[in-house]
Structure 1
Amino acid sequence: MELSGGGAMAAEDTDEADRRPGGRRPGRSGTKDAILVAAREQFAAKGYAGATFRGIAADAGVDPALVRHFYGTKDRLFAATLYLPEAVLSRLQLLPDCDPGDLGEHFVRIYLGLWEDPETGPALMAMMRTALTSDQATGLMRDFLQTRIVEQVASALGADRPRLRAELAATHLVGVAMARHVVRVDPMASLAFDDLVALLAPNLQHYLAGDLPEHASPS
């Protein structure tokens, strides 16, 4: 969250950062990026309750007051970490280009592939772990799923009841991701990625493009 204040505020931040013995990050955007990276790592390692402004600031190499200046509260900082690397949405945006007969396989590969990728996996892990430990984080994760994944997938579907289909597919894959990456239940955790895709793709294809019961619709 950007705060108003113009050049004077920026100058104050720069002066404060210059006085820190460890040096400063290059510019406001660089500092905010460093804080977000540190926050994702802290939330992933310690959960929502265990992560602190002080610990995040130490990992980012900034003063704790600067974390609060940029983000205000832990809830707002956590919400900012849910704006995942652009790779998340850019890969989901590949769905409209898929052959309708391969939607299930493509969605499995795209979504679970994000968990396997070191660029995006830690942010997803932070989101999942913190959602298990905090009501506030659960709400943030629900908002993320509804606005950043379900809507994106639903917009790519040409079948009836696209939002219901997208929710069925997304929640199925969220459960798989939890079993594989968070709880690490075998054999789910140790399956080769391509084998996992082959097992899941038919169900996802049915959710996204197959026949659903006529009476099944969101209440």
Structure 2
Amino acid sequence: MLAAARESFAGNGFAATSMRGVARAAGVDAALVHHYFDSKDELFVEAMALPIDPRQVAATVLDGPRDELGVRIVTVFLTVWESPDGQQRMKAFLRSVVSSDQVAQLMRDGISRLILVPVSEAIGGEDARLRVSLVASQLIGMALTRYLLELEPIASAPMPTLVERIAPVLQQYLTD
């Protein structure tokens, strides 16, 4: 089922993938897919083998004072990247996103739905989606620089230093 889901998400995108379609491609009854996965979101998370559940990321980021959003976002992001399993999977994920238009579209659709939209709705404002996208651009840039390019001194900077330096920038994006 997961292989069929990966193929469907990659070939059709998040929006066009259905649990029934995945069941059909896997040669199983749709009820079996629903038995193992409560929703298409859950199927997406499992099929993509992400080291984190994007829905939990959004919930963690939004749980706390608004004026600490920047700190929570960069801390959660770096914590995932700093774990051995997380770093390996996230490097593979990031390389795939930048090298494949299909994977980029899939992740754009999935991450938008599971993280960007909920965070945008929570912070509010007419340009909330743009501000949250700017946060994403900062985080992706940091990940490319630190983990793939391994550009010094950011590659070896301690996590607390990065949080201290980056969180205020993210907070600025998120403040109306």
Classify the TM-score, shorter chain.
0.5 to 0.7
Matches within 5 A, 1:22-33: none
Q: Is the 8 A contact 1:108 1:173 kept in 2?
A: yes
Residue 128 of structure 2 corresponds to residue 162 of structure 1: yes
Contact in 2 for aligned 1:127/1:141 (Cα 8 Å): no
Q: Deviations over 1:69-92 (max 9, x none)?
A: xxxxxxxxx996435245443133
Q: Could you tell me how far 1:194 is from its partner in structure 2?
A: 0.4
Deviation, structure 1 residue 151: 1.6
Distance 2:141 2:98 in 1: 13
**Matched letter for residue 160 of structure 2:** D
Is 1:4 aligned with 2:45? Answer: no
- Separation in 2 of the partners of 1:110 and 1:79? 17
Q: Which has the higher helix share?
A: 2
**Equivalent residue of 2:156, what SS?**
coil
State the structure with bigger RCO (CA 8 A, min sep 6), 1 or 2: 2
Aligned identity (percent) is: 31
In structure 1, the partner of 2:173 is: 207
Pairing 1:35-184 to 2, within 5 Å after superposition: 81-82=47-48, 84-184=50-150
Residue in 1 aligned with 2:12? none
CA contact (8 A) 1:82 1:123 kept: no
**Count of aligned pairs:** 140
Q: Separation in 1 of the partners of 2:100 and 2:152? A: 26
The Cα RMSD (Å) is 2.5
Question: What's the CA shift for 1:161?
Answer: 2.1
Which moved further from structure 2: 184-193 or 153-162? 153-162
Change (3 A) 1:178 1:86: closer
Unaligned segments of structure 1, at least 5 residues: 7-28, 30-77, 211-219
Q: Which has the larger radius of gyration?
A: 1
| Counterpart-to-counterpart distance in 2, 1:155 and 1:83 | 26
- TM-score, length-normalised on structure 1? 0.56
